[in-house]
Structure 1
Amino acid sequence: MTELHVPVILRESGYTFYFVMADLNEPPHVHVGRGRSRRSDDAKIWLRPVGVARSGRFTARQIAQILGIVEVHLEWMLQEWRRYESRIS
C-alpha cells in the first residue's frame, strides 16, 4: 500500500500509529505497529471510546503503553481521523 492509503500519523516510543484509508467507514480507530513496517498482526485501537479492537502481536504491557499514548494524543488523533475522512467523502 502506498503512504496515501496508509498515512502514518504518529511515531512514539518505537510504535507507529497509522490509519488505513479503506477503514474510514468504520468507527474512529488507529492501527499500531513497531518501527516502520506494517503487518497484518498490528494492533487496532478504537478511539471513541478508547479500547482494544485487536491486540495483534503485542503483550498486555505493550498494549497498556499504547493505550496511554493514545489517551495523550486522543483529541488530535480524532481531528486527524476527521481530516482524512473528509478526503474520501
Structure 2
Amino acid sequence: MPICRVKSGAVEERHNAKTNSINRSQTVGLDLGNGFELPFRVGLGQRPAYPPGEYDIDPQSFALSEYGDLVLKRYVDLVPLQAKAAPVAAKA
C-alpha cells in the first residue's frame, strides 16, 4: 500500500501575478513500497498544513479525466493512517 509521508509542516507560498493570489502547498513523499519516495506537492488553498506523519490519499481525491483516465483532483486530501484503522471489538 502506498504511504504518503509528511516530513515537515513547512508551507510553500508562491505569488501568482496574473490573479494576484498566493498559492500555498506542502511537499509530501509518496512511498510505493520500494524504499524510494517520490516527492509531490499537495495544494492547501486556505487549509492548514498537514503535521508530520504518515497518511493515505482520501478516496474522494480521485477523479476521472475527460478521457476516462484516473487522475488526482487539484486539492488532494490526506487521511492520517491511524484514523483509517478501525478499532477491533473485544470478544467476550
Give your verdict on TM over 0.5.
Answer: no
More helix by share: 1
Q: Which of the pair has more CA radius of gyration?
A: 2
TM-score normalised over the length of structure 2: 0.29
TM-score normalised over the length of structure 1: 0.30
More strand by share: 2
Q: Which has the higher contact order (CA 8 A, sep 6+)?
A: 2
